[in-house]
Amino acid sequence: MKIAFVGKGGSGKTTLSSLFIRHLAISGAPVVAVDADINQHLGAALGLDDREAAELPAMGDRLPLIKNHLRGSNPRIASAETMIKTTPPGEGSRLLQVCEPNAVYDACARPVELDGGAIRLMVTGPFTDADLGVACYHSKTGAVELFLNHLVDGRDEYVVVDMTAGSDSFASGMFTRFDMTFLVAEPTRRGVSVYRQYKEYASDYGVALKVVGNKVHGQDDLDFLRAEVGDDLLVTLGHSNWVRALEKGRPPRFEQLEEPNRRSLHALQEAADATYELRDWERYTRQMVHFHLKNASSWGNERTGVDLAAQVDPDFVLREGVTASV
């Protein structure tokens, strides 16, 4: 299952992502966690110290390796240089799975132990001084989009992505790559403004969206969120001494997380798992192609000097059971 956490900056999106990842990890589920946020705080939220977080390999810095691996023997892709962030897989492409060893994980993923469980953690890499004025951060998140476009994940396997804040999530087609999107919203006007944007943008693409109310401190806060987001409100979380200890660098055992918050995490997993039966791989592939053609005509063809529409394999549908090139 592919799951995104989105929300405005400061909403608690990364904290909620990390809590959900821990919840999955201690259950023994296979998890790949991806930090696609410009601020790169997921590693710290998962308990890494500053040195460990800084040493995580950036996917954006390894984009040529990722492209070369994924294109495999696909005859429609002449070289890694002609791949862009939206290039879809086709016959001969190397596909990825959650649990397998592969060159992308070797280069970009690092194991993180969490209360007896373990996950793979990948990060896009931070926005650096070298990027200012000459590049867009979305070129870094393009590595994540390629990863998701070539991923074949199954039931009870989880890829959890902490997305970039606010409406920047719509700078590419990556917002359509998820079985479930959890939008973290505070009970304020600004807190629900991103929800309205997301709801409007995502409505034409069949994006499954649920709201997680965060920093909810009473009935008035709960009533506000219910009035603003209606049935999209799935769960709420309030003050957590466990989270406060985590933020001080002294997280207790995860089993000590407050019971109401633990129930909320279970509800998130149940909501995500329920989308498995609704998967439509043909629509998923069509959307992938749609955004690729859109990017090709707007900038990709000029950037690469080739007709990127020719990369589309009209007979290929990404789905479980499709085998990867070796």
Tokens found for residue 14: 């990364």
145-192 pLDDT, tens per residue? 999 999 999 999 999 999 987 566 666 788 999 999 999 999 998 888
| pLDDT tens-digit series, residues 241-275 | 998 888 887 778 888 999 999 999 999 999 999 99
Token pair of 204, please?
Answer: 């034409």
Cβ-count burial 6-32 (b if 16+ within 10 Å, e if not)? bbbeebbbbbbbbbbbbbbbeeebbbb
Residue-wise pLDDT tens digits, 64-83: 999 999 999 999 999 999 99
Per-residue model confidence (pLDDT) at position 11: 83
- The whole-chain average pLDDT of the chain stands at 90
Contact 26, 214 (CB under 8 A): no
Q: What is the pLDDT of residue 137?
A: 43
pLDDT score for 171 = 62
pLDDT of residue 326: 55
**For the whole prediction, is pTM greater than 0.85?**
yes
How far apart, in whole angstroms, are the C-alpha atoms of residue 195 and residue 88?
A: 29
Would you state the structure tokens that stand for residue 267, as one six-digit string?
A: 């509800």
Lowest mean pLDDT among 9-13, 83-87, 107-111: 9-13
Residue-wise pLDDT for 144-154, tens only, equals 999 999 999 99
Given a cut of 50, whether residue 118 has pLDDT beyond it is: yes
* Model pLDDT for residues 266-287, shown as the tens digit of each residue: 999 999 999 999 999 999 999 9
Q: Which residue has the higher pLDDT, 4 or 239?
A: 4
Separation between Cα atoms, residue 85 and residue 118, nearest integer Å: 29
Residue 282: half-sphere exposure toward Cβ, Cα within 13 Å: 1
What percentage of the chain reaches a pLDDT higher than 70? 92
Residue type at 292 in one-letter notation: H
In angstroms, the CA 185 to CA 201 distance is 17
